[in-house]
Every structure is written in structure tokens, then in C-alpha cells.
């Protein structure tokens, strides 16, 4: 396949570009920034330096090589990187609509976009309002975000699929996409102690484009793309940057504490799906990723 990939100069985007090339696909790599030096495009793949908020430049890039699918990863990834929330909103929401609408207009049926776990109100929701009706969170959990873009990009995907009823869009709710060591160091209750590896994210992007027609034929679907288990341990207990959590004074061992114990400590009174945790699996994630396994054939680890 030839895949149109935005955000190709970013951390997730450049890894995904390499993954797609490794799997034998060609790409149109798009980013407002130059590609990293270690990302070399072979014959049949091209780079277009363009801003996804400029729909005319985007359309011109999309028309250069016929594409079988689109993976949209071009965005400001973190509302706390110093940008005003309104800038993050204007960039991410506009870029998402431009990519989805332009691709659909050009007859591309298979589209993937990066979304966020914050659609259900996690990291960027104020501590006093970070409450959950039930854990683990699923794609059917109430959407209560306070970040500037996540739920809006998913609503836009719904609208595109109503406009073009043969288009299929996968919104992938990544979280803490990095290597395992970094994930452990950053582990904290605001994130519900979860993460996504770069390889798992890239694989989900390709599977979203390749999804079997019998399991996901049309319409928009959101998917949690996260590890099956908590990421938590002694490495995350170094003092600094707010990662010094309450279990240090509670007597809990970070390497053995269970998901239920953490919920009781940080989110007391939260309803738990009792059959989700079982003996030998007490550190199972507080996010349910089974929908991605069922519909995309995705697993965090092969």
C-alpha cells in the first residue's frame, strides 16, 4: 500500500514511518518540520513539508501520489508543552478536520487518527473533578474531557463518516507513547499508571488501515491502544516533577501493589468491575483494550 502519513517528523510519526517502510509499504511523509536524519525514504516514498492547518497545501500533497490509506499523527501532542490551550485547539482540531475531510473528498476510505485517553477525562482534568463512574475505562465510558481537542477530533470523525457512509475512521487513544523505562519513570496516578510502546502504536496505525472489512466495514470507532497491565515500580518513586506519590507514605510496595489498592488509595469509592482483576493478574490495566483486540486484531505485545 501507499500510505499518507502526517506528523512524520514527530516521535510517534517517525517511528511509524520506519515501521510502515519495514513492512513493505511506501509513504507520503508530511510534516511542517524536516524529517529526522535517521529517517531515509526509499524510492517510491516522498516527503512533503506542509502545514496540516493549510488545507490547500494538504490537498496538493495528498494528490502527488495515489494513496490507499491515511494515518494522521500531525498535532501538538501535549497541551502542557507551553502552548496556550487555544493554540493547541486551533492547530489540532483544524488539522484533524482538514486531513479527514480532504482524504474522504479524494475517495480514500481507510483513515486513522491519533486521539487521546483524555477523551474520558484523565490527565488534563483537574484533580477535584477527576472521577470515574467505573473502572476499567472503556470506549463506552462517559466523555468528560477538559483538554482542548481530544473529544472534538472524535466528533469530527463521526461527522465525516455521516457525510461519507463508506469511509472507515479509527481514532486511536494512545497514552504515554514511549519506551518502558521512561514510562516507569513517569508513572503516576493522574495517568492511571498506563502507557503505550512506540512499536505497539505503529502497529495499531497500520492495523487501523488494514482492518478486516468483516469486523470494521465503515463508520468511526475509537480504540484504547494501551498496555494490558499497570506500569508501576520503584523507578517511578524518585522525588521530582510531582511524581512523588502518596503510596510512599501508605506502606505499599510499588512493585507489588495491586490495581484495586491503587484505586482505593487515589480514587476511593470508585466502582470496580469485579471480574476484571483475577488471581495472578492483580495489576491488570485500568483501561480495557479488548475492543482493539477484537476489531483490529491488535495486541500491545505480540
Give the model confidence (pLDDT) of 42-78 as tens digits. Answer: 999 999 999 999 999 999 999 999 999 999 999 988 7
What is the model's pLDDT at position 245?
55
Nearest residue to 116 via CA among 226, 228, 29, 236: 226
Q: Are strands 271-272 and 177-178 parallel, antiparallel or unpaired?
A: unpaired
Percent above pLDDT 90 for the chain? 69
Chain mean pLDDT for the chain: 90
Alpha-carbon distances, residue 291 vs 176, 277, 296 (angstroms): 19, 17, 8
- Asked whether residue 121 carries a pLDDT value surpassing 50, the answer given is yes
- pLDDT of 71-114, one tens digit each? 999 998 876 656 688 899 999 999 999 999 999 999 999 999 99
- pLDDT of 152-184, one tens digit each? 999 999 999 999 999 999 999 998 898 877 887
What is the model's pLDDT at position 244?
44
Q: Are 154 and 220 in contact (CB under 8 A)?
A: yes
- Asked whether residue 302 carries a pLDDT value surpassing 80, the answer given is no
User: Model confidence at 3, in pLDDT bands (50, 70, 90)?
Assistant: very high
- Asked whether residue 238 carries a pLDDT value surpassing 90, the answer given is no
As assigned by CATH, the class of the 2-183+194-229+285-296 domain is alpha beta
Domain boundaries, the chain: 2-183+194-229+285-296
Q: Which three cell numbers stand for residue 269?
A: 469509592
| Residues contacting 172, CB < 8 A, separation 6+ | 112, 113, 114, 115, 201, 204, 205, 208, 222, 223, 225
Residue 106, SS3 per DSSP: coil
Distance CA(115)–CA(75), nearest Å, equals 10
What is the model's pLDDT at position 184?
76
- pLDDT of 192-220, one tens digit each? 989 999 999 999 999 999 998 888 888 99
What is the model's pLDDT at position 191?
87
Q: What mean pLDDT do residues 234-248 have? A: 49
- Asked whether residue 240 carries a pLDDT value surpassing 70, the answer given is no
DSSP state, residue 17: H
Amino acid at each position: 500500500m501507499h500510505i499518507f502519513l502526517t506528523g512524520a517528523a514527530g516521535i510517534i510519526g517517525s517511528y511509524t514511518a520506519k515501521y510502515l517502510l519495514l513492512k513493505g509499504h511506501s509513504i507520503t511523509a508530511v510534516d511542517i518540520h524536516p524529517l529526522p536524519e535517521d529517517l531515509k525514504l526509499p524510492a517510491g516514498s516522498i516527503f512533503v513539508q506542509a502545514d496540516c492547518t493549510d488545507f490547500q497545501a494538504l490537498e496538493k500533497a495528498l494528490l502527488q501520489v495515489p494513496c490507499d490509506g491515511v494515518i494522521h499523527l500531525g498535532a501538538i501532542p501535549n497541551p502542557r508543552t507551553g502552548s496556550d490551550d487555544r493554540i493547541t485547539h486551533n492547530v489540532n482540531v483544524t488539522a484533524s478536520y482538514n486531513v479527514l475531510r480532504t482524504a474522504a473528498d479524494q475517495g480514500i476510505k481507510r483513515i486513522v487518527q491519533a486521539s487521546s485517553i483524555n477523551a474520558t477525562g484523565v490527565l488534563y482534568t483537574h484533580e477535584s473533578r477527576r472521577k470515574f463512574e467505573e473502572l476499567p475505562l472503556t470506549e463506552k465510558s462517559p466523555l468528560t474531557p477538559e483538554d482542548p481537542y481530544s473529544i472534538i477530533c472524535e466528533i469530527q470523525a463521526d461527522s465525516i463518516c455521516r457525510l461519507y457512509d463508506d469511509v472507515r475512521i479509527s481514532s486511536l487513544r494512545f497514552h504515554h507513547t514511549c519506551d518502558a523505562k521512561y514510562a516507569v519513570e513517569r508513572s503516576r496516578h493522574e495517568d492511571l499508571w498506563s502507557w503505550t510502546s512506540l512499536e505497539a502504536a505503529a502497529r495499531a496505525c497500520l492495523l487501523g488501515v488494514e482492518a478486516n472489512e468483516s469486523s470494521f466495514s465503515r463508520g468511526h470507532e475509537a480504540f484504547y491502544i494501551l498496555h494490558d497491565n499497570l506500569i508501576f515500580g520503584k523507578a517511578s518513586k524518585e522525588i521530582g516533577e510531582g511524581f512523588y506519590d502518596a503510596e510512599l507514605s501508605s506502606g505499599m510496595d510499588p512493585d507489588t501493589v495491586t490495581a484495586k489498592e491503587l484505586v482505593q488509595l487515589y480514587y476511593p469509592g470508585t466502582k470496580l468491575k469485579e471480574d476484571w482483576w483475577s488471581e495472578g493478574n492483580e495489576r491488570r490495566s485500568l483501561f480495557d483494550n479488548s475492543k482493539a483486540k477484537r476489531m483490529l486484531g491488535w495486541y500491545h505485545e505480540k
